[in-house]
Amino acid sequence: MSTLLILDFDGTMTDAEQEGLPFTEGYLDDIATLTGLDPAEVRALAARFSAEVAADPDAYGWLYNGHIVAPAVVDPYLRIMPIARRIFDHVGAFPREVDRTRLLDGILYKYNYTKTTTAFRDGAAEALAALQGPDTWVVTNSHTEAVQAKVRALGQDWLVPQVRGRAKKYVIDDGFDALPAAMTLPGLSRPVLLRRRLYFEVLDALRQAAGVDWGDVLVVGDIFELDLCLPAALGARVALMVNAFTPEYEQAYLRQLPRGTLLTSLSELPALAAAG
């Protein structure tokens, strides 16, 4: 196995589309309440704006503190953000960006995230069992306790203490100069931002504790821009778990990246990790 294996969890070990259905429904209901629109009209607007967002990845994404930090289409949690902003624009609600960020990324996200269900990808338990060891870790934006509960549900209690949540992979620190500011991906005109200090600190602490170089690290995730761009820039191996909504430009980039891999099934993961 690779000397140090770092896994994302939600969307990587789970089916985010199934898990996120109640999240999306609750979020749209709350938008209807906040805007005064009929829930059916909110859903019609959401469908319309969803198509527009998907058609223009250069312009839309998860906007956090003035930066686009992830694509807008890969999972329900990212998808809802630009759609909600478009609905607010449509009715002229919450025009101040600071208010929108607090409401959408804070209150509504946290409240509706509690409604998510648990839906594991096929083979999740078997893959984790095959990867058991002190150098397999989970690093996730999700809350530590929520992911630990999912790990227990899979019967993989050995992994519980090796979960690092609240990694804040989306936070850009322009003053963090250990990496270039951005990288470019063919097919995407906007830059992919790299200066994710908090995420770097989590990964680097695990790397140093394992006593390995970045070349001996394998990071697996389902969103290149959140999970993989930073470790790829540092020289780690990266593997992208694709789904029906993975942008083609991400897949094309991984196909030509010498230390990159595309995964379509968790059954492929143990062999990849063992390849070193």
In the three-class reduction of DSSP (H, G, I as helix; E, B as strand; rest coil), residue 217 is classed as strand
Asked whether the predicted pLDDT for residue 1 surpasses 70, the reply is: no
Six-digit token pair at 77? 């949690």
Rounded to whole angstroms, the Cα distance separating 49 from 256 reads 32
CA distance readout (Å), 71 to 30, 193, 227, 250, 268: 23, 12, 12, 10, 25
Supply the mean pLDDT for the chain. Answer: 95
Its pTM stands at: 0.93
pLDDT of residue 79: 92
Q: pLDDT tens digit string along 165-177? A: 999 999 999 999 9
Q: pLDDT tens digit string along 182-236? A: 999 999 999 999 999 999 999 999 999 999 999 999 999 999 999 999 999 999 9
Enumerate domains of the chain plus CATH numbers.
4-16+119-275 (3.40.50.1000), 17-113 (no CATH)
Q: pLDDT tens digit string along 12-50? A: 999 999 999 999 999 999 999 999 999 999 999 999 999
Q: What residues have CB less than 8 Å from 239, skipping those under 6 apart?
A: 218, 219, 220, 221, 228, 260, 261, 262, 263, 269, 272
User: Contact 7/138 with Cβ under 8 angstroms?
Assistant: yes
pLDDT of residue 57: 86
Q: What angle do CA 142, 13, 182 make, to 5 degrees?
A: 60
